[in-house]
Structure 1
Amino acid sequence: MTVKGVLFDFSGTLFRIESTESWLRAVLAEAELTLPEGELIRAARALEAAGALPGGAFPSQPLPDDLAEVWKVRDKSAELHRAAYTGAARRVPLPDPRLHDALYERHMAPAAWSPYPDAADVLGTLRERGVAVGVVSNIGWDLRPVFREHGLDPYVGAYVLSYEHGIQKPDPRLFRAACDALGVAPEDTLMVGDDRRADGGAAALGCGVHFVDHLPVTRRPEGLRPVLDLIG
C-alpha cells in the first residue's frame, strides 16, 4: 500500500478534551459561582456518568427513550448534537440551570482541548513527505478554531465534519468525501482513529485503518508516531 493521504479522527486521536472536573470548574469560574469542593466533585462525577461532556466518557447509565433516540444520531447536525449533550447534562442538578448551556459552550473553546504531544511533529512530517492530511470527525460544531489556536491548522488539507454533511461515521460516504477533498484514492489512504466501529468504517472503502488508544495526553506521548512507519 502506497499511502498518499492520511485521515485523522479528532477527539481521542489528535486532541483530548479536558477532564470533566476541569470543564465544570471553568464554567463555574466564568459564571462567578462556587460550590463546596465535595459538591463540585460529586457533580463532576455525575456529569461524567451521564456522558454530558462531548469527547469524554459515554453514558454509563441508560438514557431516557427520547434522549436515547437523539443520542444515536447526535453527530448528524449541530442541533442534534447540542440537544443530546445538553439533555444529558440536565440530568445532573446544578446551582443555576443556565450552567447546562454554558457547559456545552465551554467544550467548543480551544482552551478545553489539548493536542497529543506528538501531533504537531507527526502532521509536520507527513507534510514534509508530501502526504495529504485530512480530519474526519463525528461532531456537531466547527473544530477548525481549535486547530488554528493550537497551531495544527496549516498541516490539514481538508476537514470533513459529520454535521456539515448530515452523515456520521462509520458511514463510508463520509470517508469518501474526505478522500475526494484531498484528491486521493481510498486504496492509497490510511484512516487513523480511536474508535474501532466508527473509524473502522473506512475499511469498507478500501482504506487502511490504524487505531490509537483514547488516553489522557500525559499517558500517550508517542501514540501517533507509528503512523510514520506505516506510510514508509
Structure 2
Amino acid sequence: MTFTGALFDFSGTLFRIEPVRSWLRTVLDECGLRVGPRVFERYVRELTSAGALPGGPAPECVPHHLAAAWADRDRSAELHREAYTGLARQVALPDPGLYDALYARHMSPAAWRPYPDAERVLRGLRRDGVAIGVVSNIGWDLRPVFHAHGLDSLVDAYVLSFEHGVQKPDARLFRTACALLDREPARVVMVGDDRRADGGAAALGCAVRFVEHLPVEERPDGLHALGLTRTA
C-alpha cells in the first residue's frame, strides 16, 4: 500500500533519552556536587530500578502512593512531573534540589539523540509527498527537541497526550493526528515501539509498524528497514 500519511512515536522510535548514568552525572556536575564512584554507581542502580528517568527503563515497582499518578502520567504536565519526581525520591540523593534538576534535565534537547536513520527516513517520506505527524504519550513539549536537532521542518503536526488529556492507545489521539494531516486513516501508517500504546492506531484502520526500543548505537537502521519510503 502507498501511504499518504505517517505518524511516529517520539521516545524509543525517533529519539532515545540518554542513559541513566550520563543523566545523573550531568545534573551532579551542573549542581556542583561530587560523590565517590561507589556512591555514584549505587545512585545509578537505584534510579534505574525506580524507573525515575522518563523514556528510560520502566520502574521495577511503582509505590502505592504513586499508582494513580503513574497510570495517568501522560494526561497532564502536573501528573507527569508528580509521577517521575516521586519515583526519583525513592532514592536518597545528597541534595533535595536534585529531584527537580533531574526532571528538568530530561526535557533538555541535549538529553535526547535521534536514531541514526531518523532524518533519512523523514526526509525520504517528505520527498515522497507523505505528510508526517508525531503522536506521543508525554507530559511536556517535545517540539524544542526536534528544533534543536534540525528535524522540526520535517514534521507537519504534533499530537501530544498532555495537550489533549488523552493517552495512547486511545484512538482519539490518532484521529486528531489524521485530521491535522488531512489524511484518511486507511492511508496512514503509525510507527512506534509500544505494541499496546501505538497499536491503538489500528482501531482507526491505520497500518501499524513497530521498531525495538533500543539504545541508539544498537539500532542504526530500524526505521529504514521498515521500507516506508521509496527514495530513502
1:29 aligns with 2:29: yes
TM-score w.r.t. structure 1 length? 0.97
Task: Tell which deviates more after alignment, 8-17 or 218-227.
Answer: 218-227
3-state SS, counterpart of residue 16 of structure 1: strand
Which amino acid in 2 is paired with 1:119? Answer: A
Structure 2 equivalent of residue 150 of structure 1: 149
Following the alignment from structure 2 to structure 1, what is the Cα–Cα distance between the partners of residues 173 and 70?
19
Structure 1 equivalent of residue 180 of structure 2: 181
Alpha-carbon deviations, 1:151-197, whole Å to 9, x = none? 11010000000000000000000000110111101100000000000
Alpha-carbon deviations, 1:36-65, whole Å to 9, x = none? 01111110111011010000011012x222
Following the alignment from structure 2 to structure 1, what is the Cα–Cα distance between the partners of residues 222 and 109?
22
Following the alignment from structure 2 to structure 1, what is the Cα–Cα distance between the partners of residues 41 and 183?
47
Structure 2 equivalent of residue 57 of structure 1: 57
Following the alignment from structure 2 to structure 1, what is the Cα–Cα distance between the partners of residues 70 and 53?
13
Following the alignment from structure 2 to structure 1, what is the Cα–Cα distance between the partners of residues 217 and 63?
35
Q: Describe the shift of the 1:231–1:206 C-alpha distance in structure 2 as closer, same or farther (beyond 3 A).
A: farther
Structure 2 residues without counterparts, runs of 5 or longer:
none
Aligned length: 230
1:74 aligns with 2:73: yes
Alpha-carbon deviations, 1:114-168, whole Å to 9, x = none? 0000001110010011001100000000000000000110100000000000000
Q: Residues 133 and 181 of structure 2 are in contact (CA less than 8 Å); yes or no, is this contact kept in structure 1?
A: yes
Following the alignment from structure 2 to structure 1, what is the Cα–Cα distance between the partners of residues 206 and 21?
37
Structure 2 equivalent of residue 164 of structure 1: 163
Alpha-carbon deviations, 1:183-226, whole Å to 9, x = none? 10110000000000000000000000000000000010000003
4+ aligned runs moved over 6 Å, structure 1: none
Structure 2 equivalent of residue 133 of structure 1: 132
Q: CA RMSD in A?
A: 0.9
TM-aligned CA deviation for residue 231 of structure 1? 5.3
Following the alignment from structure 2 to structure 1, what is the Cα–Cα distance between the partners of residues 222 and 81?
30
3-state SS, counterpart of residue 201 of structure 2: helix
Structure 1 residues without counterparts, runs of 5 or longer:
none
3-state SS, counterpart of residue 192 of structure 1: strand
